[in-house]
């Protein structure tokens, strides 16, 4: 009796894993195809936003000034 329950639990576990893998495949395929995937852009923005801090903005300003100075130096 216990071995039957064990087999049923194992089969249900395997079927569950296969269903989850199929769902992940479908999500990945839809993301790769493109289309109207607003959730994907929201996810990307949530990952990128922490890196857009004031320190990185000031570094961008510094890079712009350095390139401007290099251009002025090349013109002379």
> For position 50, what pLDDT does the model report?
59
Measured on CA atoms in the order 42, 48, 53, 58, is the torsion positive or negative? negative
> For position 41, what pLDDT does the model report?
73
Is the pTM higher than 0.85? The answer reads no
Residue spans per domain, the chain: 1-35, 37-76
Q: What is the mean pLDDT of residues 16-30?
A: 88
How many angstroms separate the CA atoms of 29 and 41, rounded? 16
> For position 30, what pLDDT does the model report?
73
Residue 36, Ramachandran bin (φ over 0: left; ψ between -120 and 50: alpha; else beta):
beta
pLDDT tens digit sequence for 29-53? 777 776 656 766 776 776 766 566 6
To the nearest whole number, what is the mean pLDDT of the chain? 80
């Amino acid at each position: 009796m216990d071995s039957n329950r064990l087999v049923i639990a194992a089969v249900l576990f395997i079927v569950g894993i296969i269903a989850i893998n199929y769902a992940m495949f479908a999500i990945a395929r839809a993301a790769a195809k493109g289309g109207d995937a607003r959730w994907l852009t929201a996810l990307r923005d949530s990952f990128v936003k922490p890196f857009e801090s004031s320190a990185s903005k000031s570094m961008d300003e510094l890079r712009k000034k350095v390139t401007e100075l290099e251009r002025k130096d090349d013109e002379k």
